[in-house]
Amino acid sequence: MDMPGGTADERLRILQIVGNSVIGGAENHVLTLAQALRARGHVVAVVCPRPGPLVDALRDARVPVHLIEHVMPAPGDEYTLCFPALWALGTLMQRWRPTVVHSHLYPAHLHGTLAGQLTGVPVLLTTAHTLVVRPGDPWLIALTRGRIIAVSRAAKALLVQAGVPPGRIRVVYNGIAPPYFQDETAQARRVRQQLGIPPDAPVVGIIARLSAEKGHRAFLHLARDIAALRPAARFLVVGTGPLADELHALAAHLGIAERVVFTGARRDVTVLNHAIDIFALPSREEALPLAVLEAMAAGRPVVASAVGGVPEVVVDGETGFLLRPDDHPGFVRAVVTLIDRPALRARLGERGRARVRARFGVDRMVQTLLRYYRALLAVHRGDRRRR
């Protein structure tokens, strides 16, 4: 059954589908996008695979959530098609009648795009949040009328290399919500005290899922060498993930356990960004790290690996420092320089905040997405009239 979309001046019905229920970069993006679209008068619901922190956050924000398990891991870090999940999503779409199905993460793309094609949803999109291109990505785009949102030019280049036609990909940078720009200095002082961090200690932080590609092992080795040069420094590791136990053990092995604070999962990221002085991300791969944008919005200078979409965000020498992922001495020098020069930290941080506000705000992202939704809806209508 083909389901009609609304006119350009009508409210859109937007069903987002996400392949995880934890809180990470892609999931935070879903939450931000759902809230921003609802604030503009559109009807939004989200499909998550199971209960979890994202579901709680969405419900706290009064965003309707449907639970449909659609994540079916396969050998080789792949995912398989689950026909009961495809049926359940198709049934939901026939009942809910979305104008747009917008999926996030590959299992959601696999099931949401196919279910949307089969039920005649006018606009089908998926956002490529990482630099991982799966064999099914070009196949799904070729088989359906789906389009891909790439969060950086680096992500788009990899998709094109894998065989996705460039005309089916649109680069739309992630957007940062207004709360990340607010001054949280007073709250940050209280958090530092709660975490046992001296008020005058320089704090180097990383806020990211504790997984291998984010570079936490490298961060702890950097912490050891930075602490040897600047003993007052403290290090904040925010997040949870599969490497949690290993990283705690590594900090103890390196003799810096008393200098490193592991916070686990936190909801007060805006405050934590103000609790640090320098944001460091020695990751091996990044499409467009939301954590970097959030730190910059808080006015924090960034020292990061020049990988993937990071150079599209951080301007070397202007909003922070970019280095090769394996340049350990360079990372140490950059962080120590920023510890020693508070005026430089403030200057780079303010430039970073201005850059994020101008280029990576949530309003800009949502306006760009809505224009794209409506352009694709117009194409769909034109195709129907010609048939």
Q: Which domains does the chain have, with CATH numbers?
A: 13-175+361-381 (3.40.50.2000), 178-359 (3.40.50.2000)
Paired tokens of 299: 């006015």
DSSP 289: -
Paired tokens of 79: 């995912």
d(CA 364, CA 359): 8
pTM of the model as a whole: 0.89
Contacts of 202 (CB under 8 A, 6+ apart): 230, 232, 233, 234, 277, 278, 339
Contacts of 379 (CB under 8 A, 6+ apart): none
The predicted structure's pLDDT at residue 387: 67
Paired tokens of 59: 């419900």
The predicted structure's pLDDT at residue 6: 44
Paired tokens of 219: 């961060």
Paired tokens of 55: 């579901």
Residue 370's alpha-carbon distances to 102, 104, 148, 169, in angstroms, are: 12, 17, 14, 15
The answer to whether 329 and 229 have CB atoms below 8 angstroms apart is no
Q: Which of 183, 181, 177, 232 is nearest to 204 (CA)?
A: 232
Instruction: Evaluate the CA torsion angle 344, 345, 347, 352 in order and state its sign.
Output: positive
The predicted structure's pLDDT at residue 381: 84
Paired tokens of 34: 């759902």
The answer to whether 168 and 143 have CB atoms below 8 angstroms apart is no
d(CA 326, CA 334): 14
Contacts of 153 (CB under 8 A, 6+ apart): 171, 309, 312
pLDDT in tens, the chain (387 residues): 333 344 555 799 999 999 999 888 899 899 999 999 999 999 999 999 999 999 999 999 999 999 999 999 999 889 999 999 999 999 999 999 999 999 999 999 999 999 999 999 999 999 999 999 999 999 999 999 999 999 999 999 999 999 999 999 999 999 999 999 999 999 999 999 999 999 999 999 999 989 999 999 999 999 999 999 999 999 999 999 899 999 999 999 999 999 999 999 888 999 999 999 999 999 999 999 899 999 999 999 999 999 999 999 999 999 999 999 999 999 999 999 999 999 999 999 999 999 999 999 999 999 999 999 999 999 988 877 776
d(CA 115, CA 124): 10
Q: Are strands 73-74 and 78-79 parallel, antiparallel or unpaired?
A: antiparallel
d(CA 106, CA 219): 28
